Structures are given as C-alpha cells and as structure tokens.
Amino acid sequence: MNLTQGAVSRQVQLLEEYYGCPLFVRLPRGLGLTPEGQELLGPVQEALASLAEASARVRRLTESLTVQFPPTMAVRWFLPRLPALQAYMPGLEIRVAIHWTAAPDFSKSDADVIVAHGKGGWPHVVEVPLMREKLVPLCSPQVAAGLREPRDLARCTLLHASAQRHEWLTWLRGAGLDGTGGAPEQMFETVDMCLQSAERGLGVAVADASMFPELLADGRLVKPFEIEVDSGHAYFLTYPPQRSEHRGIRRLEQWLLSALAAESRG
C-alpha cells in the first residue's frame, strides 16, 4: 500500500473513532479483529470484490472499440487501412462489425460507433462528416475501349446494386442524360457483386471509386468517363452524445479525418 506503519495506525484510529468502538486487537504478531470488526469484514470484502469486477468491466470497455461499417466500406476501404489504425492506437482492440442500416440505431447495436451512409440529420447521435459519395462508371478495359461518350452506355449492360436503380439514374442525370436509353440491365444484391461482374466484362457498374482503389490501381477496372456525380449521400461517423468524451472514439475520429484528408491531397 506504500504506507508507513504510523500511517496505517492513524487510519485504524480514524476508523475506530468513526464507529465508536475498537475494531482491531493488538496481537504479538500483528492485528486481529474484534467482534465488531468481524461484523464489518464480510460486507467490506463483498464491496471490494464488486468494485474490482466493475473496474475490470470498465477497463475492458475502454481497451476495446467496436466500429460498425456498411459492408462495402468495411471490406474495400477500412480493412486495408486497419493496420495503420492499430499502429496509431496501440493497446486498443479494434473490433469491426458489418451491417447495412438506413439510420444509425445504437439501441439495436453493440457498436461503440457506427459509420453510416445517407444524408445525415439523424436524431440523438453526434454526426461527423467523413466523405461525400461521388459516383462514376467503372468497367473492364475491354468494355471501356468501346465507350467514347456517355450515350454509348446504351449498348452496354448496366449493373445495379439495387432494384431502385437510383445510383445509375443519379449519374445519368448528372451526365446530362434522361435515362438508361434502353440499355440492358442486370440486378445484384451488393455493390461488390456489381464490381466483380464489371471486372469480368459483363457490363458497366457505377460506384464511388474511392472505395475500390486497388482495382483501379492494377487496371482491373477503369473509368470510361471522368464525370463524377455527387449522389447526395455521404459517410458519417456517428455515436451517442454521452460517449463524446470517450478517448478511443475521439482518437478514432482524429485518425479517420486525418487519413481522409491525406488521401484527398493525393
């Protein structure tokens, strides 16, 4: 306890003054308990054990951080950068959860923070804008060779990750076209499936190219046109207001913003 014998004796004296009775008896080899001291021993031991358990739980919470991502962002953007985050935050266990949701809902998630995709404005959460979603067509080099202008897409199969087709319709409007121009279409459940199909030459996908840097870097996918269209959506780091002072969350926020700023500078 790093206390001198005199300091311990003083604490014993203060306890006995507080309770108004002796708690210890002096023995040849130390101290023993009086009946009153024995009465206090059990509850004190239980209280200390309960405090130790609570302390351990709090330490586990502060030594780990669960981050929930939309599937594509988790796999394509975050996981390649996870080693850099671990180096930035040594000693903190980063747990990654994958779930698509229309709005961050911490009552239905064990995540400490949720990276959400949408327009923002969600109630009861802190929102930190990370990046805007900018759509651009992506396809294999072989398919791109036959595309000179956006109207040429009418001869290609357009690959969709949703039955609403809103990504393609948003990009086409931004490129000055009224619709798909009668182009063949193929539906998939995920953006990843669209990109894999585009890589195999089955058609043209539309997505945020920043999510797929490795596919562009090695030439498996190319941009047939450099027209990027803001989808009206963005990615936000969100968390409950009561967690604003959580050290791990603050450091994660700093790292994400710094990493994104560095990438935007090229």
Break the chain into its structural domains and give their ranges.
5-61, 65-131+241-264, 134-232
Stretch among 98-102, 109-113, 250-254 having the lowest mean pLDDT: 98-102
pLDDT bin (cut points 50, 70, 90) of residue 108 is: confident
- Mapping DSSP to helix (H, G, I), strand (E, B) and coil, where does residue 39 land? helix
Domain 5-61 coded CATH 1.10.10: yes
Residues 138, 223 contacting (CB under 8 angstroms): yes
pLDDT value for 16? 81
- Give 159's contacts (C-beta < 8 A, 6+ positions apart): 185, 186, 188, 194, 197, 198, 202, 203, 204, 205, 206
Exposed, middle or buried: residue 68 (CB in 10 Å: 0-12, 13-18, 19+)? buried
Q: How is domain 65-131+241-264 classified at the CATH fold level? A: D-Maltodextrin-Binding Protein; domain 2 (3.40.190)
CATH T-level fold of 134-232: D-Maltodextrin-Binding Protein; domain 2 (3.40.190)
Whole-number Å distance between alpha carbons of 83 and 249 = 17
What pLDDT, in 10s, does the model give residues 44-86? Answer: 777 767 766 655 455 444 578 999 999 999 999 999 999 999 9
Decide whether 5-61 matches 65-131+241-264 in CATH topology. Answer: no
Summarize the confidence of residues 194-198 as an average pLDDT.
Answer: 96
Encoded tokens for 75? 């796999």
